[in-house]
């Protein structure tokens, strides 16, 4: 009888130990602050744009300043509530700003959307995670062959940009291709609480007359563009 009671007690204790309490689900952290679109927010960038067309003897390098300001909600062509993004440029720091264009930004259904020159891009897909990939052109007709997916290369890393220091930065690689005759690399960096802080676009090609595999492709460009946009100031109001 004692052995039987001991056996039953052991079974009950074993069964009780196997019954784990229901665990509460881990909350999803979306980190929308990587793409802030608050009215009154502004960012100022320094831009370098290089255009090369060797057959036409074009070697142009342009330096200018770019100001982006979010100035209030509007309804987009797709009936979404978006933030109006006004963009201004000037050549020298002591000059007045001149209006360049008006874009739109917003977060819709966990997607950071930006409409640039009437072209809709999916900049970030929340929640942001390392190595997460998505189709940044799902709302436009670019890249119909789906050659490039946006991908988060780094996340929550410290980063310095001249005198600006950021605790948490993520890097999105939008395009990446390297062969013996061409190089395509598009990248954007976003800082938590700030948004876009740096943008680089390289799209260069080497023709047969300039081809030399012993020379880096950046030093034998036949045609292409090299664009670099870096943050130099930001704030609100």
DSSP for 147-200, please give it: ---EEEEEEEEEEEETTEEEEEEEEEEEEEEE-SSEEEEEEEEEETTTEEEEEE
CA atoms of 131 and 76, how far apart (whole Å): 31
pLDDT higher than threshold 60 for residue 189? yes
Mean pLDDT for 202-209 is: 96
Confidence (pTM):
0.86
Token reading at 201: 């676009």
Give the separation between CA 53 and CA 207, rounded to whole angstroms: 11
Between residues 31 and 12, which one has the greater pLDDT?
31
User: pLDDT at residue 18 above 60?
Assistant: no
pLDDT at 78 over 60: yes
| The pLDDT of residue 168 | 97
| pLDDT of 100 over the 60 cut | yes
pLDDT value of position 3: 45
234, pLDDT greater than 50: yes
Tell the residue number behind the tokens 């996340």, with chain if given.
155
Instruction: Indicate the CATH number of 32-236 among 2.40.360, 1.10.1760, 1.10.3470, 2.60.120.
Output: 2.40.360
Report the percentage of the chain scoring pLDDT > 70.
87
Yes or no: say if 198 and 214 are a contact pair by the CB < 8 Å rule. no
Q: What is the mean pLDDT of residues 10-31?
A: 59
CA torsion sign for 107, 111, 114, 115 is: negative
């Amino acid at each position: 009888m004692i052995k039987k009671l001991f056996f039953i007690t052991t079974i009950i204790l074993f069964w009780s130990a196997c019954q784990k309490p229901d665990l509460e689900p881990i909350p999803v952290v979306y980190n929308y602050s990587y793409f802030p679109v608050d009215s009154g927010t502004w960012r100022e960038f320094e831009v370098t744009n290089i255009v090369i067309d060797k057959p036409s003897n074009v070697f142009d390098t342009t330096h200018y300043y770019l100001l982006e300001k979010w100035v209030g909600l509007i309804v987009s062509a797709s009936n979404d509530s978006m933030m109006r993004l006004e963009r201004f440029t000037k050549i020298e720091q002591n000059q007045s700003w001149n209006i360049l264009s008006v874009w739109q930004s917003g977060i819709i259904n966990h997607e950071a959307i930006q409409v640039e020159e009437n072209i809709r891009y999916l900049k970030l897909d929340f929640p942001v995670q390392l190595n997460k990939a998505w189709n940044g052109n799902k709302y436009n007709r670019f890249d119909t062959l789906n050659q490039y997916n946006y991908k988060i290369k780094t996340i929550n890393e410290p980063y310095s940009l001249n005198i600006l220091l950021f605790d948490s930065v993520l890097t999105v690689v939008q395009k990446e291709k390297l062969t013996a005759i061409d190089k395509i690399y598009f990248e954007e960096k976003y800082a938590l609480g700030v948004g876009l802080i740096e943008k680089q676009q390289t799209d260069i090609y080497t023709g047969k007359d300039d081809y030399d595999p012993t020379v880096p492709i950046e030093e034998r460009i036949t045609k292409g563009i090299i664009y670099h946009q870096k943050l130099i100031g930001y704030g609100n109001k």
